Amino acid sequence: MSYDVAIIGGGLAGTAAAYYLTGHGLTPAVLEAGELNAEASGANAGSLHFQLEHRLIAHGDALAQQVAAIIPLAKRAMALWRGLETELRAPLDVVMDGGLMLAETPEDMARLEAKQAVEARWGLDTQMLDQAQVRARLPGVADTVLGAAHCADEGHANPRLTTLAYARRAAERGARFFPHARVTATERRAGAWSLTLADGRRIRARVLVNAAGAWARDVGQLANVHIPIVPVALQMTVTEPVAPRLGHLIQHAGKALSMKQVEAGNILVGGGWPARLGDPGRRPRAFPRTIARNLATACGVWPELGRLALLRTWTGTVGVSTDQLPLIGRLSALPDYYVVGAGSGFTLGPAFAATLADQIATGRSDPQATVYSPDRFAHLNMFMGL
């Protein structure tokens, strides 16, 4: 079986890349070891957070040019999410009614002001709010909250629907999907990539895309390259449904936190709190201590949460690069080998995929996208004989 592009990984990045590649007239095949959308793309909390996150600004990194260069991706993702339900002809529960990144200390406020200045230079519209303005937007907010940064385009969407909608539309346009198709070997032969599956089938493609998320490193090793993406186990908690109370995505400038209310009335609480990785190949285990700390952080800024019943906690494994920036583009050490993923994969996933598809189809990279290139880690492959 021969295709223009073989994509290893059936999460959001892989399926969306397949969709955008078909728009360029290419025929991709998506190979997924399990079910489509079964890992991080379907297990995350669905936040659409376009402001520079806590993890990127906590140590002043928002002032670094390299970190700020993620903003063009955020702007592209924002535009894609705005029209995604129409484009994919499917309900995705997209709500973009704004987000607040809260500050509880003068240091938090200074961090937000520095962040907002960087975002403004890159053309991302965020506004600083004082305490009274935050109270007007978030009734019941704690007195400790001094202010916030507001982004009118933030919100949330349904991760259980988005990847599968991309897959359906991609299939309608000629993409092929192979679930339960674990790749056991990748070899370069006669100007193309030859992939061997666990059941003995072979796939041939001119271009190979590693979109395996937390397993990208393992997939890279099949081609004798190091891909610096590490698995991170995270957990999220959901409350009972209640009448509308939270009209914004809530984040924090100095602490890990995300909180929002979905259409059914449930409030989802997360923000990057760790679960236990456990045995390889198994779902991470919930970590009660960090659940308690996550909820304490949320209750600290919005005490009403403490009066609600919790329904469940669930976990997922995400792939994060060692410098916390995305990996998008061709690995120059190998012919026609591309990598996509790492960090904020739901929020930025459509932009990851569209950017990658543009590169593959045109053979050119947007100069602004060079900061995401996997070649920034080329030194890791100095001793791989490539």
Amino acid identity, position 260: K
Q: Cβ contacts of residue 355 below 8 Å, gap of 6+?
A: 73, 76, 328, 366, 369, 372
Do 219 and 242 fall into the same domain? no
Do 133 and 272 fall into the same domain? yes
Residue with tokens 């360029």: 24
Whether residue 68 lies inside any domain: the answer is no
- 69-111 tens-digit pLDDT: 889 999 999 999 999 999 999 999 999 999 999 999 999 999 9
Torsion of CA 366, 126, 114, 131, to 10 degrees: -160
Do 137 and 20 fall into the same domain? no
Integer Rg of the chain from CA: 21
Number of structural domains found in the chain: 2
d(CA 289, CA 127): 35
Whether residue 338 lies inside any domain: the answer is yes
Do 283 and 346 fall into the same domain? no
Do 110 and 35 fall into the same domain? no
Do 32 and 145 fall into the same domain? no
Domain that residue 200 falls in: 2-42+160-228+323-381
The CB-based long-range contact list for 132-141 (8 Å cut-off, 24+ gap) reads 134/100, 134/102, 137/98, 137/100, 137/247, 137/248, 138/100, 138/246, 138/247, 138/248, 138/250, 138/302, 139/245, 140/245, 140/302, 140/303, 140/304, 141/102, 141/301, 141/302
How confident is the model at residue 56, as a pLDDT? 76
Whether residue 282 lies inside any domain: the answer is yes
Examine the fold and report which residue of 321, 347, 367 is the final residue of a domain before the chain moves on: 321
Q: What is the CATH number of the domain that holds 13?
A: 3.50.50.60
How confident is the model at residue 302, as a pLDDT? 98
C-beta neighbour count of 211 within 10 angstroms: 32
Per-residue CA distances from 234 to 9, 160, 314 (Å): 20, 17, 9
How confident is the model at residue 61, as a pLDDT? 59
How confident is the model at residue 64, as a pLDDT? 57
Maximum Cα interatomic distance, the chain, rounded to a whole number of Å: 67
Give, for all 386 residues of the chain, the pLDDT tens digit.
999 999 999 999 999 999 999 999 999 999 999 999 999 999 999 999 999 988 777 766 545 566 788 899 999 999 999 999 999 999 999 999 999 999 999 999 999 999 999 999 999 999 999 999 999 999 999 999 999 999 999 999 999 999 999 999 999 999 999 999 999 999 999 999 999 999 999 999 999 999 999 999 999 999 999 999 999 999 999 999 999 999 999 999 999 999 999 999 999 999 989 999 877 667 899 999 999 999 999 999 999 999 999 999 999 999 999 888 899 999 998 999 999 998 788 999 999 999 999 999 999 887 777 888 999 998 887 766 55
Whether residue 110 lies inside any domain: the answer is yes
Whether residue 206 lies inside any domain: the answer is yes
d(CA 62, CA 51): 10
Do 261 and 214 fall into the same domain? no
Amino acid identity, position 49: H
- 17-35 tens-digit pLDDT: 999 999 999 999 999 999 9
Examine the fold and report which residue of 296, 321, 346 is the final residue of a domain before the chain moves on: 321
Whether residue 256 lies inside any domain: the answer is yes
CA 302 to chain CA centroid, nearest Å: 26
Q: Contact 262/221 with Cβ under 8 angstroms? A: no
How confident is the model at residue 79, as a pLDDT? 98
Q: How many CA atoms lie within 13 A of 129 on its CB side?
A: 23
Do 143 and 252 fall into the same domain? yes
d(CA 169, CA 293): 41
Question: Residues of 336-375 as b/e, b for ≥16 C-beta within 10 angstroms?
Answer: bbbbbbbbbbbbbbbbbbbbbbbbbbeeebeeebebbbbb
